[in-house]
């Protein structure tokens, strides 16, 4: 599943000075080959308002400026990998002498335009987000950004920013950039993207070159690893539960609950809980395995007469106890 830009300028999204609007350009596009489908469309112009924008402000751009970055949503999942694609023509893109202009209220730093001794320009900006409603990733994970330039050599940079510094969103730390060769394909991989933090992606061209570029961003969320094992005896009424063993990721929280045996919580990579409780047919045993900032694991066991319990597996969004078939 590829997701097109939601086209929400960061100036609106970050400052809350104007109501966020969901634009009609948001579209989920299925790709049978798994490749980005944005190439089938004409590349957008980042110096113009976003496609489908209603009542754009004078001079509003779609990713040409730092505070008007395009949102990268990472909530569509395919095989556990969350992906975003965009097709943009950077021929008219500019660079900024002050990242806080337009839109900020202080004098800001100039936009970085050099990497490994090479100058670059004609830059466009994106922000990594977890969903249409959230500003920053809600789960920890790894990100891979790839750009293919048509006739020019791309540069990709990742820049963390202070989410509490609105309306300027001051950059914090150094740019993490990649320009590994002279060809049209470039990629940047960053491990340890943290939930709730702000990250901007800058894409430009070596020597101030630009043109059509295809961008793909893949975000792989961290997930708890969990393997439960039940020890029980079959009875005419259901089962006699003897022990629950859960092997999981380091520092995981394991919660086991069922009617008649209450709720028991323990932490660790190897959790063993003794019960020796009779569970009647129709009852349910649940196991939740969670770790802060990661997608959790959920297991339920439906008790049957004279037969093994039926296991169902689900996932848990960070901070939620509600089991889901898919977790963004």
What's the CATH number where 253 sits?
A: 2.60.40
Band of residue 57 on the pLDDT scale cut at 50, 70, 90: confident
Q: pLDDT tier at 34 (50, 70, 90 boundaries)?
A: very low
Judge if 72 and 207 occupy the same domain: yes
Mean pLDDT, the chain, whole residue set: 83
Question: Is the domain of 135 the same as that of 251?
Answer: no
Q: Which pLDDT tens digit goes with each residue over 274-320? A: 998 999 999 999 999 999 989 999 999 999 998 999 999 999 988 88
How large is the average pLDDT for residues 118-128?
Answer: 95
Domain containing 299 equals 226-324
Statement to judge: residues 80 and 213 lie in one domain: yes
The verdict on 198 and 284 lying in the same domain is: no
Task: Return d(Cα 95, Cα 99) in angstroms, integer.
Answer: 9
CB of 156 within 8 A of CB of 175?
no
- Residue 162 and residue 230 share a domain: no
d(CA 325, CA 295): 12
Q: Looking at the predicted structure, is the pLDDT value of residue 135 above 70?
A: no
pLDDT for 13 equals 39
Report the CATH number that the domain containing residue 66 is assigned in CATH: 2.60.120.380
Token pair belonging to 204? 């430009």
Q: Which of 178, 200, 221 is the last residue of a domain?
A: 221
* Tally of domains in the chain: 2
How far apart (Å, rounded) are the C-alpha atoms in residues 152 and 149? 5
- Average the pLDDT over each of 15-19, 144-148, 156-160, 191-195 and give the range with the smallest value: 15-19
Q: Which of 137 and 174 is assigned the larger pLDDT?
A: 174
Do 259 and 310 lie in one domain? The reply is yes
| pTM, rounded to two decimals | 0.78
Asked which of 175, 204, 221 is the last residue of a domain, the reply is 221
- pLDDT > 70? residue 31: no
Identify whether residues 209 and 259 lie together within a single domain: no
pLDDT at residue 40, rounded to an integer:
54
Mean pLDDT of 184-191: 95
Higher pLDDT, 240 or 4: 240
237 shares a domain with 172: no
pLDDT confidence bin for 136, thresholds 50/70/90: low
Q: Taking a C-beta distance cutoff of 8 angstroms, is the pair 201, 229 a contact?
A: no
Q: Residue 243: what pLDDT? A: 95
Q: Are residues 171 and 318 in the same domain?
A: no
Domain boundary among 221, 251, 269: 221
* Shared domain check, 157 and 273: no
Between 23 and 196, the higher pLDDT residue: 196
């Amino acid at each position: 599943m590829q997701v097109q830009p939601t086209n929400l300028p960061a100036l609106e999204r970050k400052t809350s000075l104007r109501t966020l609007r969901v634009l009609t350009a948001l579209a989920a596009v299925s790709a049978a080959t798994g490749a980005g489908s944005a190439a089938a469309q004409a590349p957008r112009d980042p110096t113009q308002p976003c496609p489908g924008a209603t009542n754009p402000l004078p001079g509003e751009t779609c990713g040409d400026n730092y505070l008007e970055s395009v949102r990268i949503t990472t909530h569509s999942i395919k095989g556990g990998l969350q992906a975003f694609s965009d097709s943009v023509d950077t021929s008219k893109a500019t660079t900024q002498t002050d990242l806080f202009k337009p839109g900020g209220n202080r004098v800001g730093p100039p936009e970085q335009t050099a990497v490994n001794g090479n100058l670059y320009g004609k830059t466009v900006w994106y922000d990594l987000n977890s969903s249409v409603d959230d500003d920053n990733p809600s789960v920890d994970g790894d990100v891979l950004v790839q750009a293919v330039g048509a006739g020019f050599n791309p540069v990709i940079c990742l820049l963390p920013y202070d989410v509490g510094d609105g309306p300027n969103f001051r950059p914090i730390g150094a740019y993490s950039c990649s320009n590994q060769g002279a060809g049209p394909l470039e990629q940047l991989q960053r491990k340890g993207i943290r939930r709730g933090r702000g990250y901007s992606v800058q894409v430009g061209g070596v020597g101030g070159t630009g043109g059509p570029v295809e961008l793909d961003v893949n975000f792989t969320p961290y997930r708890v690893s969990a393997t439960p094992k039940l020890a029980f005896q079959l009875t005419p009424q259901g089962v006699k539960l003897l022990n629950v063993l859960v092997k999981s990721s380091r520092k995981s929280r394991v919660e086991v609950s069922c009617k008649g045996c209450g709720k028991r919580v323990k932490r660790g990579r190897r959790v063993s809980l003794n019960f020796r409780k009779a569970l009647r047919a129709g009852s349910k045993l649940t196991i939740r395995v969670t770790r802060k900032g990661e997608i959790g694991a959920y297991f339920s066991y439906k008790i049957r007469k004279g037969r093994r319990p039926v296991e169902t597996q689900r996932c848990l969004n960070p901070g939620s106890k509600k089991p889901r078939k898919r977790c963004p």
